[in-house]
Amino acid sequence: IQCDQLSPEWFQLHVGRATGSHAGDILDFTLKGIEGSTRRSYRLLKAAEILTGIGIGIEENYVSPEMEWGIATEKKARRAYALEEGVFVEQVGFVIGDDGRFGCSPDGLVGDKGLVGFKCPKTITHLRWILDGVIPEDHLPQARFELMVNTDREWFDFVTFDPRITGRHKPKQMMTIRLERADAKIEAMRAAADRFMDEVAETVLRLDRIAPPVEIEEEEAVSVPVDQSGMLTDADFEGLN
């Protein structure tokens, strides 16, 4: 779906769907298998979206200087990657999975087979990733989730980019690491995502049992302006599990 990211339409497409940027949240369990607080908050957020029909605080409003840098630099990263790989990177607003329960906003579609994600971190983080030579563990869930949603894509390129590295060290400016669809953990991600959305549905049903919905005549329905800028927290759902 072509739309501007962070636009009202883009936020609305997130309603009731688990999305790639929160793939790591879906996997948040303690060593004892107990749901973590981050996953619980995201589960309740999805339930809130279903009940209200609006995209409530899909992303945090706070933008750190590092995040501002990353957003501003992504276009340069896209051009550098396209030139290095000799490919065209197609931008897309939002992709909905075949079953409608999942979605993501890839940084780019590459040809007929690839996805690409750009990261423009602090220089020390960029250099650490180069030395490690693997996709950082906290970014793997999103990469796998995007391949899970885009079933026609065979690989995902993780690109770390820092244009502050220039001169004779320019070869260190960018590194690309590829994740192939054959990664067995992509199917594990699907199982975890299915379980998560099943639990979101169960949460909505539990809320209905506590406070059963009522029939409302069409003329009684009132449209109330809603401030979508606020992020829901656990305090909004005190007492719910």
How much is the pLDDT for 54? 87
How much is the pLDDT for 9? 84
Hey, how many other C-beta atoms are within 10 angstroms of the C-beta on 111? 12
pTM assigned to the model: 0.84
Higher pLDDT, 217 or 178: 178
Local confidence band at 217 (pLDDT 50, 70, 90 cut-offs): confident
How much is the pLDDT for 65? 75
How much is the pLDDT for 96? 95
How much is the pLDDT for 231? 47
How much is the pLDDT for 62? 53
Give tens-digit pLDDT for 224-235. Answer: 454 555 444 555
Higher pLDDT, 1 or 49: 49
Quickly list H helices, 60-184.
65-85, 123-132, 140-149
Give tens-digit pLDDT for 130-185. Answer: 999 999 999 999 999 999 999 999 999 999 999 999 999 999 999 999 999 977 78
How much is the pLDDT for 69? 80
**Rounded Cα gap, residues 120 and 18, in angstroms:** 24
Give tens-digit pLDDT for 25-78. Answer: 999 999 999 999 999 999 999 999 999 998 875 544 556 677 678 778 999 999
Q: What is the DSSP string of 51-76?
A: HH-S--S-S-S---HHHHHHHHHHHH
Rg of the chain taking only CA atoms, in angstroms:
20
Higher pLDDT, 175 or 12: 175
